[in-house]
Structure 1
Amino acid sequence: MSYFMYDVMGETVDEPDPETMRHVLDGLANADDEHPDVSLSHESGWSLSAFRGGLLTWANAEDDSVAPRRMREVAREETLRLFGLLAAGDVVSIEALSWQR
């Protein structure tokens, strides 16, 4: 399975390991209005975007019929866990969470 991350400045990190995911997420400390998030995207089209303050969005760029969803106040460790699930292609587990439209 192929996946990649964008860091807070928009640089691509191909197939990051858990430690690299943690490092990319740490970059949110430098987020600003122009560069507000980091994200992990899977070859299936699904992506998770994390913002400073704990906002997490879940979307599928390849399926316009699926509305983006979000969760607020997501803890850092939970965000890392979800990044790991998406990297493994476990969309079902992520979909099962209580997302808001």
Structure 2
Amino acid sequence: MSYFMYDVMGGAVDTPDVAEMGRILDGLSASDDEHPDVSLSHESGWCLSAFASGLLVLENMEDGSASPGEMSEVGRADVLRLFGLLAAGDITALEKQAWRR
């Protein structure tokens, strides 16, 4: 499965491992209004965006019929766990999470 991440400055990182995902997530400490998030995108079209506030947004960038979901105050460990599910292509497990739609 193919996936990639954008860091807080918009730089792309192909197939990062968990350690690299953590480093990219840590970059949120340098976020600002122009660069507020980091994201992981999967070849299926699903994308997870994480914000410094703890907001996590799940959306399918290729399927307009799929409702986006949000979670608030998501901790670092949970963000990394959810990034891992998306990286593995486990969309079913990802969609079973407590998303507000």
TM-score (ref. length: structure 1): 0.98
Any gaps of 5 or more consecutive residues in structure 2?
none
State the distance in 2 between where 1:77 and 1:5 align.
17
What residue identity is the alignment partner of 1:42? H
Aligned to 1:12: 12
What residue identity is the alignment partner of 2:54? G
Aligned to 2:52: 52
State the distance in 1 between where 2:68 and 2:52 align.
18
Aligned to 2:72: 72
Per-residue CA deviations over 1:23-79 (Å, capped at 9, x if unaligned) read 000000000000000000000000100000210000000100112110000010000
State the distance in 2 between where 1:39 and 1:32 align.
15
Aligned to 2:2: 2
Aligned to 1:83: 83
The runs of 4+ residues in structure 1 deviating greater than 4 Å are none
- The alignment-based identity, stated in percent, is 63
Aligned to 1:33: 33
TM-score (ref. length: structure 2): 0.98
State the distance in 1 between where 2:74 and 2:85 align.
15
What residue identity is the alignment partner of 1:27? G
Q: Does 1:62 align with 2:62?
A: yes
